[in-house]
Amino acid sequence: MTTDSASAGGPRKPSIYDVADRAGVSHMTVSRVLNGHPNIRASTRDKVMTAIDEMHYTRSSIARALATNRAMRIGVIVDNPGFYGPSSVLRAIEVAARQNGYAVSSFSVGDADGRRVDAGVVELVTQGVDALCVIAPRASSLDLLRQQAIALPTLVVKEEPDEQMHTASVDQRAGATAAVRHLIDLGHRTILHIAGPPDWFDAKARTEAWQAALEEEGLPVVPPLIGDWSSDSGYAFGRELELGEATAVFVANDQMALGLMHGLAERGIRVPEDVSVVGFDDVPDARHYQPPLTTVRQHFALLGEVVIGELLAAIEGEETGERELIQPELRVRASTAAPRV
């Protein structure tokens, strides 16, 4: 005999969807009523408020929304959410928001539809969000965002400060510098770089840090190869890359590093015996690559907490002080070794 959680732990607390069903409206209408949206009919507002009273819907976020005239919701625009970095940041923001009594509404933008940033802003603002966040922005999508007259606190997940918007980020340059310094300390002198798309802020920061680390040591800087973040693009480079005097490759993310090692292996080029490889992100499977991948771990959970903390402070009109960059961590595994003499 089975017992559901409601009967086992007492009556289930009503949700916003239950309130919507009782009032005969959508859950977004309930949210807009709680946010004081001006385009709600008085009769609809009365139905929603009656349903809340009848169901004793007293969840803390609802109480706060009623008291503060807020939606208790953060809007998030995510550029290319299929990649590990953007999806991980979104999950971290959702967890941190929930811990603070907020929900998250997200809107996805892909490579082929950068103009949908405009549509994303309109959709999220229409939902009555209290603040906006943009994850993994490209320069082009951020330019579109700047053209919007957004009267909401807005945060962009990028390393560089911004005069118009709040920013928060893992220190991309510090992570890339640690990766390249590790290779230099092992004795590598010609270190190639497979970069992400140049329109991406994170890709640009990692490339600039790679170049600066080499120049600081007086080592040669070979023009970087440009990938698209996918393992397929890394694989294509692995099948065609002429190493020349290079004994190491710093790859801008783990997915491309995986593809690179696959392509090299098919040509009989061994990692790390013939060439060392370092990635970036520390995806959950990186320690199971063949060989396990040396990479840079980004602390996404902490980033989510910082993002929500900044936005909640901005919502309250508080000063947040100095901008904090979260320090990444180099994870050394078997894909790197000293070059053979």
Mean pLDDT of 112-135: 79
Dig out the tokens for 234 from the structure: 């890394």
Ranges 90-94, 112-116, 260-264, 276-280: which has the least confidence: 112-116
Q: What's the mean pLDDT when you consider all of the chain? A: 86
User: How many other C-beta atoms are found inside a 10 Å radius of the C-beta of residue 28?
Assistant: 16
Residues 53, 58, 62, 66, CA torsion sign = positive
Tell me, what's the pLDDT at 34?
Answer: 65
| Amino acid (one-letter) located at 159 | E
pLDDT for 69 beyond 70: no
Identify the pLDDT of residue 146. Answer: 77
Say if CB 180 and CB 191 are below 8 A apart.
Answer: yes
Q: What is the DSSP letter of 136?
A: S
Task: Name the pLDDT band for 128 (thresholds 50, 70, 90).
Answer: confident
Q: Is residue 227 over pLDDT 80?
A: yes
- Tens of pLDDT, residue by residue over 70-99, are 668 999 999 888 889 999 999 999 999 998
Does the pLDDT at position 7 exceed 50? no
Residue ranges of E strands in the chain: 73-79, 103-109, 131-135, 154-157, 166-170, 191-195, 225-226, 248-251, 276-278, 295-297, 325-326, 329-331
> What is the C-alpha to C-alpha distance for residues 256 and 241, in angstroms, rounded to an integer?
13
Please report the domains of the chain, with CATH numbers, ordered by start residue.
12-68 (1.10.260.40), 172-298 (3.40.50.2300)
Question: pLDDT tens digits, residue range 16-67?
Answer: 678 888 999 886 677 667 655 556 788 888 888 888 878 776 544 444 544 4
Question: Would you list the DSSP string of 146-170?
Answer: HTS---S-EEEE-SS--SSSEEEEE
